[in-house]
A and B are shown apart, each in its own frame.
Chain A
Amino acid sequence: MRDFAAARSEMAEYWHIRLGLEDPVKKFFSQAPEADVTLEADIPEKDFNSAGRGSAEVKNLLKRLGVDPEVLRRVAVAAYEAEINVAAHSLGGSMTSNIHPELIHMVFQDNGPGIADIEQAMIPGFSTADEMVRELGFGAGLGLPNIQKNADALHISSEKGDSTCLEIIIYFKNDGQ
């Protein structure tokens, strides 16, 4: 069973980019520029006491940069939900926040176990985005839809039996400049 799956497909991937921001987002990922400031936080498994610390730190940092309060709120919510997701549904992981002059790029990398039901998730017909995202293994919580609502770009990739990586981009200005 395992071998079969491995032979067929190892990666599950999900993209969501806010309308009109496709170009800057693609450019960002292809150029992969170095961040000006980076913040790292551990997310221990099932530790709901400390889950939320990373997002609180990011929020404080962005306040020091004078980021617009509405953008700040979107970052805080997306980061918090993603942090809770990692704590709740994985063996723990880490959160890296990369600050660039015009955006924040947050990477949530967990230590597995990856997406359990990858075959099912990849069955064509699981067409609506939200459903697919839910089947990617994040449970039925409000987490992912909430992240997607607040993010300018969301990318999830998962390797079976391995780890899941969730990336969020939020621009400091609406037009992505």
Chain B
Amino acid sequence: MDNKKYFHALQILEDNCTGCTACVRVCPTEAIRVRDRKAHIDPNRCVDCGECIFACQFHAIIPRSDPLDLIHNFKYKVAIISTSYFGQFTEDISYEVAKQALYELGFDDVQEEAMVTEFMVKVIQNYIRANRDKRPIISSNCPTVVRLIQLKYPSLLPNLFHLEAPMSILTRYLREKIQEEKGLKEDDIGIFLIVPCAAHVTAVHQPEGAYKHLQDGAFSIGMIYGKVREHIKNLQNNPPQIATYPKGLTWALSGVQAELVDCEDIRALSVNGVENVMEILSRVEDHYLDQYDYIVMRSCTNGCVGGCFNVENPFVAMSRIKKMIKEGENGEVDIHELEELYDEGEFDVAPLTPRPIMELDTDIKAAIRKMKQLNEILTSLPGLNCSACGSPSCYALAEDIVLGKATIEDCVVLLKRHSKEDEQDPQQK
């Protein structure tokens, strides 16, 4: 594992943190420990799933995204919107208005993830057919899922779909196209994502497998929401005429996306929610799900509509987007330029490296010794899994002790028992 510090789009506000350990207990990779009454995140283990953000009642863990002012550093400013954005508004607000409002924020160009959905579906189907030896293929769109696989299921790295996610594909395409058409230098163009979750912010700042410069920043849907709403109010009297891509909005909905790829010779499965994703990954690892050709995996409920930056409930947002898909008609999308770039291999990603976190030691015999030690420690711990020590479970504390990250004195329950014994002892004598 390289020692490069891993960037994460999460911040702990120490002043707010009470050390309650709610976050410690929900983290799927056991990345959080409370030490000295404050929560700390191990950057090598965090996968930006956002579970801890939802769990903290004290608003001590907050997702970060870039400040909107960043766009002023660039001559030409481009926004690429995640499809989940369009599920955030009441139904009296039209798709066109919601999209136009983004121009009003100061962007010169606004493009949608939804634009390339159809292209993506084709490319995914081709990839699945061309790689019959790998089953199932796992979608690579959700950065949390990609990182989970690197950390906990590295044997599945070859199963990941080996192309950039739609917003990155659009980025590559637009960067070239705008340079050509507008006669601008690469550095003059700022390309930004408007994203539904912290994982996408991390992916922008620390892309996995990217060959070259992708985006220049990521803005949270929640952060721009207030400003967007103001612009929407003004725009509603005078609705704009701009192209929209309702049929492509499927991308934000894990189930609907899987249905699009599913066809006569391709069987697709859709999974969402980080617990479900982990269970399915474990079964894929054991080859129990080889009957599927493709598995769409999203860490958030229902897909990207469940991301922590959204303002609307994921089920309501999903229902709104489904309505738009049903009622809308797509604008023209010319995909032949995209296809050319695809043929040239422009959208390929580098093979990802494993970042194993589970191993006690790289040498199996040493690992067994540590495991033996771990088990011995475990038998002396109370087995309450109370997390009062700041580790997620007694097992995790034992592991922390073996790895030199904690001591047995961290166990509050043992400490109490010992001090009681000490109190009683003199009386008995």
Residues of the A chain whose Cβ atoms lie less than 8 Å from the Cβ of B371: 36-37, 61, 64-65, 99
| A69 close to B285 (CB less than 8 A) | yes
The contact of B155 among A36, A65, A72, by CB within 8 Å, is: A72
Check B372 for interface membership: any CB of A closer than 8 A: yes
CB-nearest residue of chain B relative to A74?
Answer: B286
Once bound together, how far apart are the Cα atoms of A63 and B367, in whole Å? 10
Check A76 for interface membership: any CB of B closer than 8 A: yes
Check B282 for interface membership: any CB of A closer than 8 A: yes
Nearest Cβ on chain A to B398's Cβ, whole angstroms: 11
Residues of the A chain whose Cβ atoms lie less than 8 Å from the Cβ of B358: 60, 63-64, 66
Check B273 for interface membership: any CB of A closer than 8 A: no
Once bound together, how far apart are the Cα atoms of A59 and B286, in whole Å? 10
| A80 close to B286 (CB less than 8 A) | yes
| A66 close to B285 (CB less than 8 A) | no
Q: When each residue 352-378 of chain B gets 1 if its CB lies under 8 Å from chain A and 0 otherwise, what string results?
A: 000010111111110111011001000
Once bound together, how far apart are the Cα atoms of A76 and B281, in whole Å? 13
The contact of B287 among A56, A77, A172, by CB within 8 Å, is: A77
| B372 close to A37 (CB less than 8 A) | yes
Once bound together, how far apart are the Cα atoms of A172 and B364, in whole Å? 9
Residues of the A chain whose Cβ atoms lie less than 8 Å from the Cβ of B154: 69
| B286 close to A36 (CB less than 8 A) | no
Once bound together, how far apart are the Cα atoms of A67 and B375, in whole Å? 18
Residues of the B chain whose Cβ atoms lie less than 8 Å from the Cβ of A172: 364
Residues of the B chain whose Cβ atoms lie less than 8 Å from the Cβ of A76: 285-286
Check A20 for interface membership: any CB of B closer than 8 A: no
Contacts A63-B359, A66-B361, A66-B362 known; A101 to B285 CB distance under 8 Å?
no
| B364 close to A67 (CB less than 8 A) | yes
| A65 close to B286 (CB less than 8 A) | no
Nearest Cβ on chain A to B149's Cβ, whole angstroms: 12
| B286 close to A101 (CB less than 8 A) | no
CB-nearest residue of chain A relative to B373?
Answer: A37
Q: When each residue 91-132 of chain A gets 1 if its CB lies under 8 Å from chain B and 0 otherwise, what string results?
A: 000000001010000000000000000000000000000000
Residues of the A chain whose Cβ atoms lie less than 8 Å from the Cβ of B367: 64-66
Check A73 for interface membership: any CB of B closer than 8 A: yes
The contact of B359 among A56, A65, A77, by CB within 8 Å, is: A65
Residue picked from A36, A56, A63, A67, most chain B C-beta under 10 Å:
A63
- How many residues from B make CB contacts under 8 Å with A? 24
Once bound together, how far apart are the Cα atoms of A37 and B288, in whole Å? 27
| A69 close to B364 (CB less than 8 A) | no
| B364 close to A101 (CB less than 8 A) | yes
Q: When each residue 266-293 of chain B gets 1 if its CB lies under 8 Å from chain A and 0 otherwise, what string results?
A: 0000000000000000100111100000
Nearest Cβ on chain A to B404's Cβ, whole angstroms: 16
| B287 close to A99 (CB less than 8 A) | no
CB-nearest residue of chain A relative to B356?
Answer: A66
Once bound together, how far apart are the Cα atoms of A87 and B172, in whole Å? 54
Once bound together, how far apart are the Cα atoms of A72 and B285, in whole Å? 9
Nearest Cβ on chain A to B377's Cβ, whole angstroms: 13
| B368 close to A37 (CB less than 8 A) | yes
| A73 close to B155 (CB less than 8 A) | yes
Among residues 282 to 337 in chain B, which have CB atoms less than 8 Å away from a CB atom of chain A? Answer: 282, 285-288
| B360 close to A77 (CB less than 8 A) | no
Nearest Cβ on chain B to A60's Cβ, whole angstroms: 8
Once bound together, how far apart are the Cα atoms of A67 and B363, in whole Å? 10
Once bound together, how far apart are the Cα atoms of A63 and B375, in whole Å? 15
Nearest Cβ on chain B to A51's Cβ, whole angstroms: 14
| A101 close to B365 (CB less than 8 A) | yes
Once bound together, how far apart are the Cα atoms of A158 and B363, in whole Å? 38
Nearest Cβ on chain B to A33's Cβ, whole angstroms: 13
Once bound together, how far apart are the Cα atoms of A60 and B153, in whole Å? 11
Nearest Cβ on chain B to A151's Cβ, whole angstroms: 14
Residues of the B chain whose Cβ atoms lie less than 8 Å from the Cβ of A99: 368, 371
Once bound together, how far apart are the Cα atoms of A65 and B285, in whole Å? 17
Once bound together, how far apart are the Cα atoms of A69 and B356, in whole Å? 12
Once bound together, how far apart are the Cα atoms of A73 and B288, in whole Å? 10
Residues of the B chain whose Cβ atoms lie less than 8 Å from the Cβ of A69: 154-155, 285
CB-nearest residue of chain B relative to A73?
Answer: B286
Contacts A63-B358, A69-B154 known; A36 to B368 CB distance under 8 Å?
yes
Residues of the A chain whose Cβ atoms lie less than 8 Å from the Cβ of B359: 63-66
CB-nearest residue of chain B relative to A100?
Answer: B368
Q: When each residue 36-74 of chain A gets 1 if its CB lies under 8 Å from chain B and 0 otherwise, what string results?
A: 110000000000000000001001110111110110110
Once bound together, how far apart are the Cα atoms of A77 and B152, in whole Å? 18
16 pairs of residues in contact across A and B, judged by CB atoms under 8 Å: A36-B368, A37-B375, A56-B282, A63-B358, A63-B359, A64-B371, A65-B368, A66-B356, A66-B358, A66-B361, A66-B362, A66-B364, A69-B285, A73-B287, A77-B287, A99-B368
Residues of A within 8 A of B (CB): 36-37, 56, 59-61, 63-67, 69-70, 72-73, 76-77, 80, 99, 101, 172
Residues of B within 8 A of A (CB): 152, 154-155, 282, 285-288, 356, 358-365, 367-369, 371-372, 375, 399
Q: Which 5 A-B pairs have the closest CB atoms?
A: A69-B155, A66-B359, A63-B358, A65-B367, A76-B286
Give 15 A-B pairs besides A60-B358, A61-B371 with Cβ atoms closer than 8 angstroms: A36-B368, A36-B372, A56-B282, A63-B152, A64-B367, A64-B371, A65-B364, A66-B359, A66-B361, A66-B363, A69-B155, A73-B285, A73-B287, A77-B286, A101-B365
